[in-house]
Structure 1
């Protein structure tokens, strides 16, 4: 129970209304140490409740330590995308419902006057994308000197998007903070480790592995495709027969518009891409979340940050640029223990990803065929690199356990 984590009754009441009866693995591991004031370096799979894992201890700290000066923003959450910022903001407002705490969201694509009014209100918690927030810092519209708690959510994605220097500068503005937390889908990259070394002080490292109940129950398979026409036929087969709510990923804006023009007259669909006006992005997501549109067509700008319940299918019309991006894409379905289906449409030049995805996910990635849409060509043969013979016996390593250690 959340009450056993020594959270205030107001927070527990709000969490119960949100439908969360028991803390998830990452919440049980992070919240106690975060409430003690430790810096946190956490790796957690998508869809396992990591947002509440940092929001709840922040809110508890703000309740336990009221403002010393009127009108200061004391907690800052940096996220890589506008969609994620808005969703973290929604969850923060839900958690704060029965308290006097306030939060605000700053992202690109919003009128600067609106931003100024929000920053002038000095919310207790600010959720922001790095680029827009730093613009306000440079214009002296935002002062981070009173920030006491800093969170970097999806730090690996921020690195991928080229935000590292800006994040360092924002952290420098908040140099008097008491606590920092970093969350990432992986802790193995040099960039994330450098972030941690520079921004965290003696952090507790948490590798949260979901329980069986929390793990995504996502069926995964692929179809070998002869060409673009074959891929389009397979896509339309799924969209016409199987999906309740589907996200279709493509690799470029050009491909997105090609598909949009072909599908728009046949299906209830919306699309999402980079450099899209914020009001249009919000409108598209609102229609998809409400069910008015059953299909969301998007580029990898939305591979993270979309948290829509009950997405039945993810279809990879084009394969992503990496196995980690694949994992984030399919994480849009099968969230929080729900069932989901991930289908990939693979041409010969992308067939190399079959083995890469199997090795990365440590799960079987098998082909399927549909009567009337069977491929004419066979899968290409992949040349396996010979491995040097290892000397001595291999040591068995225990996998799949929660790890929690102090550096």
Structure 2
């Protein structure tokens, strides 16, 4: 009998049933690497873009651990998951409930923006998994309202963002309070940066390092192409036409600058497109309202920056539109990873001006994708793109030759200009006169 891919992880029937109900048939790259390592009780340091199944990669082994080692009496939480924002905490808790729906396990959240009395049931009743934001949880720990001694697994989700938001010290204090834990899992959008590296070194013990970007197989489900634009105004026209002709029902438009978010959303609305936007400094209620509008179909397009969109989890996103190309290819993968989830197909398009072709070339090389240009009838560009479709960069051989020439030039200059200090050249070749001779000369 052939086992399904998830059965090979030796997951319980309850979890397999929940996965089947959610439509999960094949593990993603991050799940293939993280789940076995976590189930062997190893610490994990993982990096994966949004939309790659990262949340399930830590929830499945966490839930399986609780099922493998059930406790006899109710008690304090055994799994603690820390997230940077209330919004992300709610999303993680929701997914945990879906995966644990055929079990007896209880899941709770502790976040800011919620009255104390609403957290009372978390303190007074049995909870197996708690998803929390660092600030509010640390407050309850100091007040001795939350017992950390039973925590067996501590999980950090979007640790890089947690540090960027200034929660590093709070997170480390919580980690110190859970010092009896058996295991720590840390997930981040990137594993780069001195702050994150130092943070991980202090908290993890000989971790399995996983850097899983979406596989080419997964990216093939996403149709990708770009439009050449003459100017910003031309880009707006192309974007509006694309949304109309493609009948975009649930799309996200990415821009680079937060100053452009509201303006572009308003421009689209004036053109008859139902649009809303996300800004980084929005109140939580406003953010939730904007996201709910897209989820419910009140609007068809959400305009956001990469920072503002981090942590949002929206199913069935049909289109990703890069109004501005990102500066890094890694960010490009993060963006397009929000569509074509759970085996579905999606579309990702970019709007490229002449000065963007260097970025486009970088994305092509990094993703190993052949992104082709398309034209919208009636909005054909008047300018031509750079030759060969992108700004050419030097080959490795050319760079090596230039480097060699520079090094040779430096060596020859060193030979010509041997640095001599004044004291090294002072009185060279002159014999010192004996003191007796000097005295005679003075007389």
TM-score bucket (shorter structure): 0.7 to 0.9
Unaligned runs of 5+ in 1: 392-407
Q: Offset of 1:94 from its aligned partner? A: 0.9
| Per-residue deviation, residues 314-366 of structure 1 (Å, max 9, x unmatched) | 11223335332222112111224432222222345544422332343333344
Unaligned runs of 5+ in 2: 405-443
Normalising by structure 2, we get a TM-score of 0.76
| Counterpart check, 1:173 vs 2:185 | no
Distance in 2, Cα, partners of 1:80 & 1:183: 12
**Residue of 107, 114, 117 corresponding to 2:118:** 114
The 5 A counterparts of 1:87-126 are 87-115=91-119, 117-121=121-125, 123-126=127-130
| Per-residue deviation, residues 92-151 of structure 1 (Å, max 9, x unmatched) | 001121222111223444445434554554632122233444454455554434321011
**Residue of 264, 269, 289 corresponding to 2:269:** 264
The 5 A counterparts of 1:234-253 are 234-242=238-246, 243-253=248-258
| Counterpart check, 1:371 vs 2:383 | no
Q: How many pairs align?
A: 391
Question: Which structure shows the bigger proportion of residues in helix conformation?
Answer: 2
Q: Offset of 1:222 from its aligned partner? A: 2.9
User: What secondary structure is seen at the aligned counterpart in 2 of 1:281?
Assistant: helix
Alignment partner, residue 333 of structure 2: 327
Q: Offset of 1:246 from its aligned partner? A: 0.9
| Per-residue deviation, residues 275-301 of structure 1 (Å, max 9, x unmatched) | 333333233323322334321222323
Structure showing greater relative contact order (alpha-carbon pairs closer than 8 Å, 6 or more residues apart): 1
Alignment partner, residue 400 of structure 2: 388
Could you tell me whether the CA contact under 8 Å between 2:50 and 2:335 is conserved in 1? no
Q: Offset of 1:25 from its aligned partner? A: 4.4
Q: Offset of 1:210 from its aligned partner? A: 5.6
Distance in 2, Cα, partners of 1:56 & 1:142: 24
Distance in 2, Cα, partners of 1:349 & 1:130: 42
Could you tell me whether the CA contact under 8 Å between 1:47 and 1:336 is conserved in 2? no
**What root-mean-square deviation, in Å, do the aligned CA atoms of Structure 1 and Structure 2 show?**
3.1
Distance in 2, Cα, partners of 1:232 & 1:330: 20
Q: Offset of 1:78 from its aligned partner? A: 2.1
Distance in 1, Cα, partners of 2:172 & 2:128: 22
Distance in 2, Cα, partners of 1:54 & 1:367: 39
Label 1:4 to 1:387 Cα distance change in 2 as closer, same or farther (>3 A).
Answer: closer
The 5 A counterparts of 1:392-407 are none
Alignment partner, residue 44 of structure 2: 40
Query: Which entry has the higher C-alpha Rg, 1 or 2?
Result: 2
User: What secondary structure is seen at the aligned counterpart in 2 of 1:287?
Assistant: helix
Distance in 1, Cα, partners of 2:83 & 2:263: 30
